[in-house]
Amino acid sequence: MRLMRIYLDASTLGGRFDEEFEEPGERFFALLEKGRFVAVISDLLAEEMEDAPPRVKELFADILSGGAEQLQASEEAVALRDAYLAARVVTAKYGDDALHVALATVAGTDVIASWNFRHLVNPARIRGFNAVNAARGYRPVVILTPSDLIKVLEANHA
């Protein structure tokens, strides 16, 4: 069975050290270390890591050195982000969140992992992203928390 390609946003990395998400974050990244999925990261995430706390930067470096798939922003992804903004899925203030979704969508990842409940792990926003994706011929996007992904990854391995 093909490994799931999971796009990681900054909240997934930062959540690893947040008291509320620490335990599932630890389990999620342990599954990555065991090779249960392919981490997909972007140049946007790399930019966001510049201002991250040292241990989040270290986790990012570990993911990079572990062979993560790396995405570069493309004209196609930027155009899709702009379509999300035009459809008011999120406001321009949160354009980077929309760009994360666009990058993952254009790259055909299986799922986006996020703890960002306001702009990403939010059924209304997911419907909005998917309405734009459908209108433009892209597959639906799936956005789950690392906690939910642990269940999926463990079930797939059983």
Average confidence (pLDDT) over 78-107: 97
What is the span of the domain harbouring residue 47? 4-157
User: Who contacts 144 (Cβ-Cβ below 8 Å, separation ≥6)?
Assistant: 111, 112, 113, 114, 121, 152
Q: What is the pLDDT of residue 155?
A: 81
How far is Cα 80 from Cα 41, in angstroms, rounded to an integer?
Answer: 18
pLDDT of amino acid 60 = 96
Whether residue 146 contacts residue 15, with contact meaning beta carbons closer than 8 Å, is answered with: yes
Structural domains in the chain (count): 1
What pLDDT digit, counting tens, does each position of 4-62 carry?
A: 999 999 999 999 998 889 899 999 999 999 999 999 999 999 999 999 999 999 999 99
Q: How confident is the model at residue 85 (pLDDT cuts 50, 70, 90)?
A: very high
Residue 118 sits in a domain whose CATH number is 3.40.50.1010
